[in-house]
Amino acid sequence: MATVSLPTKDRRIDHYTTGEPIELPKRGAAPKFNRIAYAAAHVVADPLADIDPWLDAAIDWDKTIAFRHYLWDLGLGVAEAMDTAQRGMGLDWSGARELIRRALEAAKTRPGVKISCGVGTDHLAPNGSIGTDEVIRAYEEQIEAVEAMGGRLIVMASRALARAAQGPDDYARVYGRILRQVREPVMIHWLGEMFDPALEGYFGARDHMAAMETCLAILHAHAPKIDGIKVSLLSKEKEIAMRQRLPPGVRMYTGDDFNYAELIAGDEHGYSDALLGIFDAIAPAAAAGLARLSAGDLQGFHGILEPTVPLSRHIFKSPTRFYKTGVVFLAWLNGLQDHFVMIGGQESARSLLHLAELFRLADKARVLHDPELAAARMTKLLAVHGIV
């Protein structure tokens, strides 16, 4: 246990004492789960690079790849170059391509591990007149690059398509064109506007249920080319409604960082597999919970994962797109990187009060690996902000 002085909303200082963390598994053979579980992994910035942090991205490749090995050691798959890696929010396509190359090379040294890689259209100019043909060519370029490296694909939602599409038919045309070309079944990623405001109205409608009809039509029309769909709408009702209508053999990968425990557990009608940004932050708890579920211990699964839900809801609170700050902050507290610096300067995207509450909730969820180290690092951050 450790004690740290944390600020409160009423400007008091609260002397907080930590509890006991989840015991980290011993290094060895990765556990086997009865759910497919990917963690969308973050990137570690290089704090000593001589750049303008708001404009340029410098990545510490060694620490970034080491974090992938940490996830693989726990039995989790890696979803590479996704929004958790600040894709399109600090990490451009050039950086993402290099990240994918390095991660795939690392995966080759680990037989049996899972890795899938995000492809999109983020190398297109963010402004200007772009049509659906340009969107198709942009997707094709990234797909060709990742397939040439031997990577499995996650087809990410496209800001350019959201701007260019005139209605549902354009989405059907674009996705149909690229799905007919892919070598292996892919995962489709429907990222809601709460994660990226530029994606509002995706699949041709602002109403999610109407957009779902278009998405389902695409999935049914191209089911042999689709492994699954990751839905990130933060609504368990919408995810379940869609899950029940998927084509046979197409998986639902929950991206719901608010309700993941019950969606993964499922019910008599089915369950969701997982591709979650929060699994980056709570990886040991996720692995321990999934191991309990695989052993048939549903109560044990919920006993481990349910305490992490308040933490996740806090990390992903509105504006949800700033969740990456909390993910990297927790990695720093846990000694998985040596600093709390992010590409794009996004360590400043959340307030000190937000981070203090994150510390409390992480401790209650038992995901502070070493409470004394976490408390020492929290104390240093507080000192920088004038709290000593």
CATH number of residue 198's parent domain: 3.20.20.70
Given pLDDT bands bounded at 50, 70 and 90, which one contains residue 31?
A: confident
- Please tell me the predicted confidence (pLDDT) of residue 54: 87
Instruction: Provide the 8-state DSSP code for 21.
Output: P
DSSP string, 94-135: HHHHHHHHHHHHHHTTSTT--EEEEE--TTS-SSS---HHHH
Tens-digit pLDDT profile for residues 142-190: 999 999 999 999 999 999 999 999 999 999 999 999 999 999 999 999 9
For residue 39, the cross-strand partners are 78, 276
d(CA 92, CA 57): 8
pTM over 0.85: yes
- Please tell me the predicted confidence (pLDDT) of residue 27: 62
The stretch 379-387 carries a mean pLDDT of: 94
Residue 228 structural domain: 29-302+313-324
Decide if 9 is inside a domain: no
Decide if 18 is inside a domain: no
* Token code pair at residue 1: 């246990």
The stretch 26-34 carries a mean pLDDT of: 75
Decide if 379 is inside a domain: no
d(CA 298, CA 106): 34
- Determine how many CB atoms are found less than 10 A away from the CB of residue 226: 24
Given pLDDT bands bounded at 50, 70 and 90, which one contains residue 3?
A: very high
Contacts of 246 (CB under 8 A, 6+ apart): 216, 219, 229, 252
Decide if 333 is inside a domain: no
The stretch 364-378 carries a mean pLDDT of: 97
Decide if 380 is inside a domain: no
- Please tell me the predicted confidence (pLDDT) of residue 358: 98
- Please tell me the predicted confidence (pLDDT) of residue 211: 98
Decide if 264 is inside a domain: yes
State the Cα torsion 309-314-315-318 to the nearest 10°: 130
Tens-digit pLDDT profile for residues 321-352: 999 999 999 999 999 999 999 999 999 999 99
Nearest 5°: phi and psi at 159? -60, -40
Number of domains the chain contains? 1
Tens-digit pLDDT profile for residues 91-109: 999 999 999 999 999 999 9
Decide if 70 is inside a domain: yes
Whether 234 and 256 have beta carbons less than 8 Å apart is answered as yes
d(CA 32, CA 35): 9
H helix and E strand count, the chain: 15, 10
- Please tell me the predicted confidence (pLDDT) of residue 125: 83
- Is residue 268's pLDDT more than 80? yes
Query: What is the residue type of 295?
Result: A
- Please tell me the predicted confidence (pLDDT) of residue 273: 98
Given pLDDT bands bounded at 50, 70 and 90, which one contains residue 23?
A: confident
- Determine how many CB atoms are found less than 10 A away from the CB of residue 122: 21
- Please tell me the predicted confidence (pLDDT) of residue 144: 98
- Please tell me the predicted confidence (pLDDT) of residue 129: 83
